[in-house]
Chain A
Amino acid sequence: MSFITVNNLWKEYGDQVILENLNLSVKQGEFCTLVGASGCGKSTFLKMLLGQETQTRGELLLEGEAFPGEPDRNRGIVFQRYSVFPHLTVRQNVLMGLELEQKPWLGKLFGSARREALEKVGAMLESVGLSPSANKWPHELSGGMQQRLAIAQSLIMRPRVLLLDEPFGALDPGIRGDMHDLLLKLWQETGTTIFMVTHDLKEGFYLGTRLLVFDKVRNDPHDPQAFGATITYDLPIGQTDRKLFEDIHQSVSETARNQAA
């Protein structure tokens, strides 16, 4: 049985169709990148995986069971911005999840439990390269460091699924490369299943194990919202030939233009 199963999934807001007839099966430990024009439902799909949105029709299953209807500790998330808590230092940000889990009322750890948790936090910070900044406030960090922090904060919970919503969209290209290396390293270490939404087709083309292209098959020029998007390409990474890249790029850009028109 596959880890995540999507059967005939539809998402509509009133007349507006976002996703139509989505079918997908993902094994545990896969790293899927989701690309496509804006408004093609990548983020909506991610929100459904997160439990923030529910489908209009169809099935979304996690190991054969329906997805929980609200976010929980098994599904970590990193947004493009605002993923870390500004009132906590770097160390406290990463410690937070462990504290919340162990102390439902106080939400704070003390004594030996705290020391133990802090050791884990230290190791986590080390692996994302934030040890020197452990006592800083988030606003003192660069954009890339804030995203590292957000990833560390999620991964310390050992989530079964890690969802990334354009996590590197606001970063400089140089920093982005470093973040890719870090992400691949963490993925290999933890073996968690990752879904990453990105605008950057190139990013999607070589990061991870599987590329999912969200695009509209049908288009009504008079009513751009009439048809939803679906997965038009589902490719294992490695099959990175130039022609395919051009094809996808052209199709996605065309949809983007139609959306904007």
Chain B
Amino acid sequence: MRMINHHPGRVSATLLGLLPFLLIMLIYSLASQERLADNPNDKLLPGLEQMTAAVDRMAFQEDRRSGDYLMWQDTTASLARLGMGVGIAASLALVVGILNGVLPLVRANLAPLVSALSMVPPLAILPILFIVFGLGELSKVMLIVIGTAPIMMRDVAQRVRELPGEQLIKIQTLGANSWQVITRMALPQVLPRLIDAVRLSLGPAWLFLIAAEAIASTEGLGYRIFLVRRYLAMDVILPYVIWITILAIVIDQCLRLANRRLFPWYNAGGH
């Protein structure tokens, strides 16, 4: 039988999916054990004990200097920035994308600008943001907005233009004006697609968040990782990275579920 026709069963698919994770953990723990056997104070590959101790210290004990629970403080600070940045970017994308997609005059006017902006490497203008907006929250949020909005704008405009031309004619024959074409045809059909676009943009959004926090911040997940790097504190860095990954997965899955719940017609093949 050809390889392309071999399909795993449910159980074996799950096992196959878990296998790489288990392998990575196994290789890591072997390497870690070996290094720790050589030198119990090794910092490079901390064992499970060191890492749980670090998490306990960061998340469940007050910081001796500030009296805060650092990991939660970092998490809320980062999530607030991420949420604001992505929220603003998505709102902008919705407005500009729909106008670009529906109105030919706006498209002629704005589409080239949006295309050009989406080619600017966002990290290259981070210094400009720091200079213009200062080192506070605004510049970090702005980096996320500038980094993710143009691509989402293009995506939304593209999705609007992919709506069948027949629909656009049909709604005109039902007497719709341009505003109604936007509010009753384009907007409701593009919302689920916007959520998909946000899901794709979350990767870059995290990247810009951590980059901005690494450079200028006093709290946040990215800030902490880059701070403790000075002490080679892998026992903090690794749990933080895992925690960020978990957050990213949870956010992604929440958006996926929200999309299913809110737009039953979309996921059932109604588009």
Residues of A within 8 A of B (CB): 50, 52, 70-73, 75-77, 79, 81-87, 96-97, 99-101, 104-105, 107, 137-140, 150, 153-154, 157, 159
The complex places the Cα of A138 from the Cα of B269 at a distance, in Å, of 10
- A137 near B166 (CB under 8 angstroms)? no
Q: Are B170 and A139 in contact (CB under 8 A)?
A: no
B69 CB–A CB distance under 8 Å: no
Q: Are B175 and A87 in contact (CB under 8 A)?
A: no
What's the Cα separation between A76 and B189 when bound, in Å?
Answer: 22
Q: Are A76 and B173 in contact (CB under 8 A)?
A: yes
Contact flags B153-173 to A (C-beta < 8 A → 1, else 0): 000000000001011011111
Distance in angstroms between the alpha carbons of A105 and B184 in the assembled complex: 11
Q: Which of B166, B175, B270 meets A83, CB within 8 Å?
A: B166
Once A85-B167, A86-B271, A105-B179 are accepted as A-B contacts, the answer to whether A137 and B265 lie under 8 Å apart by CB is yes
Give Cα distance in the complex from A106 to B173, angstroms. 18
Note all chain B residues with C-beta closer than 8 A to A85.
167, 170-171, 185, 189
> Is B188 on the interface with A (CB-CB < 8 A)?
yes
Quick one: given A77-B169, A139-B265, are A157 and B174 in contact (CB under 8 Å)? yes
Nearest chain-B residue to A96 (Cβ)?
B174
Once the chains bind, are A153 and B270 in contact (CB under 8 Å)?
no
Say yes or no: A107 contacts B180, CB within 8 Å.
yes
Contacts of B17-58 to chain A: CB distance below 8 A: none
* Chain B residues touching A, majority SS: helix
- Evaluate contact between B188 and A100: CB separation under 8 angstroms: no
Q: Is the CB of B170 within 8 A of A138?
A: no
CB pair B174 A73 closer than 8 Å: yes
Q: Which residues of B contact A140 (CB under 8 A)?
A: 268
What is the chain B residue whose CB lies nearest that of A105? B179
Contact between chains at A52 and B169 (CB < 8 Å): yes
- The verdict on B226 contacting chain A, using a C-beta distance below 8 Å, is no
Task: Report if B183 contacts A (CB, 8 A).
Answer: yes
Q: What is the predominant secondary structure among interface residues of chain A facing chain B?
A: loop
Is B130 on the interface with A (CB-CB < 8 A)?
no
Are A87 and B174 closer than 8 Å at their CB atoms? Answer: no
Digitize B253-271: 1 where CB-to-A-CB distance is under 8 Å, 0 elsewhere: 0000000000111101111
B163 and chain A: residue at smallest CB distance:
A82
* Chain B residue nearest in CB terms to A84: B170
Residue in B closest to A163 when the chains form the complex, CB atoms? B173
User: Is B176 positioned at the interface, with any CB of A under 8 Å from its CB?
Assistant: yes
Q: Is the CB of B270 within 8 A of A86?
A: yes
The answer on a CB contact under 8 Å between B265 and A100 is: no
A104 touches B268 (CB 8 A): no
**Are A72's CB and B268's CB within 8 A?**
no
Chain B residues with CB under 8 A of A76: 173
Given contacts A81-B166, A82-B164, contact A153 B174 (CB under 8 A): yes
Closest B residue, CB atoms, query A138 = B270
Top 9 A-B pairs, shortest CB-CB distance? A73-B175, A97-B174, A82-B164, A139-B270, A71-B172, A82-B166, A86-B270, A79-B166, A137-B265
Question: When the two chains form the complex, which single residue of B170, B179, B183, B263 contacts A87, counting CB atoms closer than 8 Å?
Answer: B263
Is A73 a contact of B263 with CB atoms below 8 Å? no
CB distance B189 to A86 under 8 Å?
yes
A7 to chain B, nearest CB (A): 25
A4 CB, min distance to chain B CBs, angstroms: 16
When distances are taken between beta carbons in the complex, the residues of chain A under 8 Å from B66 are none
- CB closest residue in chain B, given A75: B173
Pair A107/B183 contact, Cβ less than 8 Å = yes
Residues A70 and B172 in contact, CB atoms below 8 Å apart = yes
Contact with A along B174-208 (1 / 0, CB 8 A): 11110110011100110000000000000000000
Q: Give 18 A-B pairs besides A85-B185, A137-B264, A159-B173 with Cβ atoms closer than 8 angstroms.
A: A50-B173, A73-B173, A76-B173, A77-B173, A81-B166, A82-B164, A83-B166, A84-B170, A85-B167, A86-B271, A97-B174, A99-B184, A100-B174, A101-B175, A104-B177, A107-B184, A150-B170, A154-B170
Say yes or no: A137 contacts B270, CB within 8 Å. yes
